[in-house]
A = this chain, B = another copy of it.
């Protein structure tokens, strides 16, 4: 961990993150509240179910997964966070984290001490508004995912997922056609409510049909329109 200065204004995803919509003077103050950054390696966890809420976190680079533990101890993956996305919002309800966040790759994280964010948000309406906006979009995102899980077939879910990842990568300046899937087949399957075998079979079929090319975790989308057609024009996931 190290202190950072000018962290946000030099960050390529700041417009997707908490600073979006803040003016320069406001940004100064946000940056001074932002205490430190940290780096996680694959498999390391940022927080775990039950940890007290101390900070919110922003992904700066890399990829995280968040998951809840069912009563039976079965993991359910809730989301994959790419750069610019905020983590830890579920802890605002009971001041304890309700899920676990684990790095899928070497991942840089900005630590936002909640007490300072809260104080600052009381002074800066646009920051508070942005915090509410991010929480609102997290609620929307989960609603779309619910819709996906409840009434789509396995292939539609998987196609929606890949299409959604594609869109998010291109929003971040990466290629939306060729990208790396940070997660394992098992993690995709878990997230989408299916088994690893079904994921594998479906991907293999699409590869035979020329929709995609996939080798290990490297994905190329050869026919984005075809994929979207399978997804039923549903970009959730």
Q: List the interface of chain A (C-beta within 8 A of B).
A: 68, 70-72, 74, 76, 78, 89-94, 98-99, 118, 121-122, 125, 128-129, 131-140, 142-147, 149-151, 190-193, 232-235
**Chain B residues in 8 Å Cβ range of A99:** 143
Copies in the complex: 2
Measured between alpha carbons, how far is A142 from B125 in the docked complex, in Å? 27
Asked whether A146 lies within 8 Å of B78 as measured between CB atoms, the reply is: yes
| Given contacts A139-B142, A234-B72, A125 and B132 within 8 Å (CB-CB) | no
Asked whether A151 lies within 8 Å of B70 as measured between CB atoms, the reply is: yes
Beyond the given pairs A72-B233, A92-B135, A93-B136, 6 more chain A to chain B contacts, judged by CB atoms under 8 angstroms and listed by A's residue number, are A71-B233, A76-B150, A89-B135, A90-B139, A90-B140, A142-B143
Measured between alpha carbons, how far is A72 from B151 in the docked complex, in Å? 11
| Given contacts A72-B234, A136-B135, A78 and B143 within 8 Å (CB-CB) | yes
Measured between alpha carbons, how far is A147 from B232 in the docked complex, in Å? 23
Asked whether A135 lies within 8 Å of B139 as measured between CB atoms, the reply is: yes
Asked whether B140 lies within 8 Å of A234 as measured between CB atoms, the reply is: no
**Chain B residues in 8 Å Cβ range of A78:** 143, 146-147
- Of B72, B94, B121, B135, which one neighbours A135 at CB under 8 angstroms? B135
**Chain B residues in 8 Å Cβ range of A232:** 70-72
**Chain B residues in 8 Å Cβ range of A143:** 68, 76, 78, 90, 98-99, 142
Q: Which residue of B lies closest to A88 (CB)?
A: B136
Measured between alpha carbons, how far is A92 from B136 in the docked complex, in Å? 5
Measured between alpha carbons, how far is A132 from B193 in the docked complex, in Å? 29
**Chain B residues in 8 Å Cβ range of A142:** 139, 142-143, 146
Q: Which residue of B lies closest to A144 (CB)?
A: B68
A87 → B minimal CB distance (Å)? 11
Asked whether B122 lies within 8 Å of A118 as measured between CB atoms, the reply is: no
**Chain B residues in 8 Å Cβ range of A98:** 140, 143
A89 → B minimal CB distance (Å)? 6
A51 → B minimal CB distance (Å)? 14
* 14 residue pairs A–B, Cβ–Cβ below 8 Å: A70-B151, A71-B232, A76-B150, A78-B143, A89-B139, A90-B140, A90-B143, A93-B133, A93-B136, A93-B140, A139-B142, A142-B142, A146-B149, A149-B150
